[in-house]
Amino acid sequence: MPTINTQARSVPWSMAAVFIVLTAAFAMLHPMRATAAPTLNLPFPAGAAYTITGGPGSNHHMGAYAAYNQYAVDFGMPANSPVAASASGTVFFAGWKDRFSGNEILIDHGGNECTQYVHLNSVGVGKGQRVAAGQIVGRSGSTGTVSGPHLHWALVYCSGPNAGKNITVPRTVEQGTSYLVGARVTSRNGAAAPAPASNPQHLKEPVAAGCTADAQIIARRNFSGMALEVRYSPKCGTNWLRIQNMRGSVRFYLKSDAYPQEVTSTQNGTGGTHWTNQVHAPGATCITAEATSLSTGKGTGRFRICG
């Protein structure tokens, strides 16, 4: 029965060909993740700290737009604060997106995976530009549909029918995949390499938890009714700024001569004690610290400490 045998053999080959074609078509319409998610840092410069106002699964990240918001993280970042690339990559999009997102930046990290930075007041990079981890790419703001200044950040598909949809919860060096609403998180993005271990005043990279508990006052100054302190943490080998009786909006600046990364932020508060930025603090170097009252337009506390 040669004819029957020939037909019996040809059927599986025909089915295989159809399967291959359908698989290829499905892959084009539904791109899969080609690589593991990139290693990320928080999307602001090392030492800066902000409060998480919306995290994965938050109520305002669900509903009709859950696919575009469910794994996103919102940071309560004052307008015009520097926004940093979470990892190296190529700018896929930069500019005005739409009335919902406002100004947006997408940075392509390969495998059709982009980090997304939304609601920016200004954009400092262009499409096709290569950026390094920690590089300032824009300034936070309140463009698009928002209730106030903040940074909306997520890991999304760069292109294809799923473009802009969240892929997964971003995993960062600082937080892993834990983004609790109300938590104040500190970035290590772009932090300089640690000094040699032989330097006893530079024990390790700064971390948010526990570094303030043992911080010792090394300088103090009063200005505009507030008290500004520079403190050193032996546990973490970092300097911190601390302000007491905070009034209105205050801009902070902290810099170690031994490292190129300066840290700035603007915070609002009334009364109480507020911790702010941190920098590496190796011995035998100089620290520059400054706080300026923005509410009154005058009044500055300034330090220059060496030793």
Residue-wise pLDDT for 180-234, tens only, equals 988 999 998 886 444 333 333 222 233 444 566 677 787 787 777 788 888 777 6
Flag whether pLDDT at 3 surpasses 50. no
User: What per-residue string of b and e applies to 128-156 under the rule 16 or more CB within 10 Å gives b?
Assistant: eeebebbbebbbbbebbebeebbbbbbbb
Mean pLDDT throughout 91-114? 93
User: Coil, strand or helix: which one is 213?
Assistant: coil
User: Coil, strand or helix: which one is 252?
Assistant: strand
**CB of 242 within 8 A of CB of 274?**
yes
Considering only residues 116 and 253, tell me which one the structure prediction assigns the higher pLDDT. 116
Flag whether pLDDT at 255 surpasses 60. yes
Type of residue at 105 = I
Flag whether pLDDT at 269 surpasses 50. yes
Residue-wise pLDDT for 152-178, tens only, equals 999 999 999 999 999 999 999 999 999
Considering only residues 73 and 34, tell me which one the structure prediction assigns the higher pLDDT. 73
Q: What are phi and psi of 214, to 5 degrees?
A: -105, 15
Considering only residues 189 and 5, tell me which one the structure prediction assigns the higher pLDDT. 189
- State the Cα–Cα distance between residues 91 and 241, nearest whole angstrom: 34
Q: What is the largest CA-CA distance in the chain?
A: 103
User: Coil, strand or helix: which one is 63?
Assistant: helix
Q: How many CB atoms lie within 10 A of CB 171?
A: 15
Q: In what order do the strands lie in the sheet with 300-306?
A: 263-270, 247-256, 286-293, 300-306
**pLDDT > 70: percent of the chain:** 64
Flag whether pLDDT at 36 surpasses 50. yes
Strand 89-98 and strand 130-131: the pairing is antiparallel
Average pLDDT, the chain: 75
pLDDT of residue 271: 67
Flag whether pLDDT at 69 surpasses 90. no
Q: Both ends of the chain: CA-CA distance in Å?
A: 97
Query: What is the chain's alpha carbon radius of gyration, rounded to the nearest angstrom?
Result: 25
